[in-house]
Structure 1
């Protein structure tokens, strides 16, 4: 597999545009119910590209999330998340993340960008980690990344909640994002 460069003795993926493999991509989220129990969910409809450039700080990420693909292990909760109270999937079927900057230190990077959910665009910083690369059994080059960050969902207009009799809120405002993606490098065009 060709590499872009070695940073801190880590071979990074080759320059060029890599495509997210939707079958090996997940945007997960963790919130709290009653301020206590962790509730986990994920979006399985994830598409996009990562363009690796030299220097790496010029690299770009563009991700589109199918909001109807939300899955939390409860059909009732998933239907509520798709409703106007939360994602309003009928009017806002996609969320979009576009990077605006990348600062790398070896295999770890701080990635800044803009996340649009429900028509609201706000800044987001993720800590991303390059986990490595491999050639799959069919000869395609693959690179694997994970990323994580925390948001206040109310910043994106996701404000539905219920006050609890004993104090506090039913659903936490703070949401942890955990992202896992496998990228595939398209074959060079035979016409080139």
Structure 2
């Protein structure tokens, strides 16, 4: 959406997105996770149903992020595993179809910052800290202003009641408790 207001501004010598609402483009966004199987192999997954917005503040520290994730949209590349993740053993999507995220604080320095927010899964809310990078701005061929961000952090899935596991005969557990979160967000300026 082109407007008379510049899509970026310079703060502290760094170009950053203009203040306003930037809606996440779900087709160019990935909310992913990485866990370990047998405590060795990385298993990657993602949620394809994400509705989110970034409210960029006049001061970067005043920015806010909100998101709703369709938990049934989980995709790990294996249908049997995805069905298990959707079951009551994990996300219980029949009872808890959505997860939500709402930021509570932002710190910012240059093109990087820290985003702290409340992540709710299965009606359990816990604080999550994400390291965020602003990757840049582009105007697409349809005259939309786009800002791109990446973020990552780690959580203990058991903090949200996602406790299903199996002990291994040789010791250890089948599925790691620690989960890496990886987000790549492409946003479109709304106002």
Q: TM-score, structure 2 length as denominator?
A: 0.95
Distance across 2 between alignment mates of 1:140 and 1:114? 30
For residue 4 of structure 1, report the CA deviation from its aligned partner.
5.2
Is the Cα contact below 8 Å between 2:7 and 2:145 reproduced in 1? no
Q: CA shift at 1:25, angstroms?
A: 1.1
Q: What is the rounded CA distance, in whole Å, between the counterparts of 1:55 and 1:118 in structure 2?
A: 33
SS of structure 2 residue aligned to 1:182? strand
Listed as ranges, the matches of 1:30-179 within 5 Å are 30-179=34-183
Which stretches in structure 1 are left out of the alignment for 5+ residues? none
State the distance in 1 between where 2:69 and 2:114 align: 21
Equivalent position SS for 1:126: strand
Q: Deviations over 1:94-139 (max 9, x none)?
A: 1101000000011101000100011100000000110001100000
Q: Does the 8 Å contact 1:50/1:61 carry over to 2?
A: yes
In 1, the alpha carbon distance for the partners of 2:95 and 2:48 equals 19
Say if 2:28 is the partner of 1:24.
yes
Instruction: Give TM-score, length-normalised by structure 1.
Output: 0.95
Question: RMSD in angstroms over aligned alpha carbons?
Answer: 1.1
Report how far residue 7 of structure 1 moved: 3.2
Q: Give runs of ≥4 in structure 1 deviating > 4 Å.
A: none
Say whether the 8 Å CA contact 1:7–1:107 is kept in structure 2.
no
Deviation at 1:3, TM superposition (A): 4.3
Aligned-pair distance for 1:2? 1.6
Distance 2:127 2:183 in 1: 17
CA distance in structure 2 between the aligned counterparts of 1:7 and 1:167, rounded to whole angstroms: 52
Q: Is the 8 A contact 1:4 1:54 kept in 2?
A: no
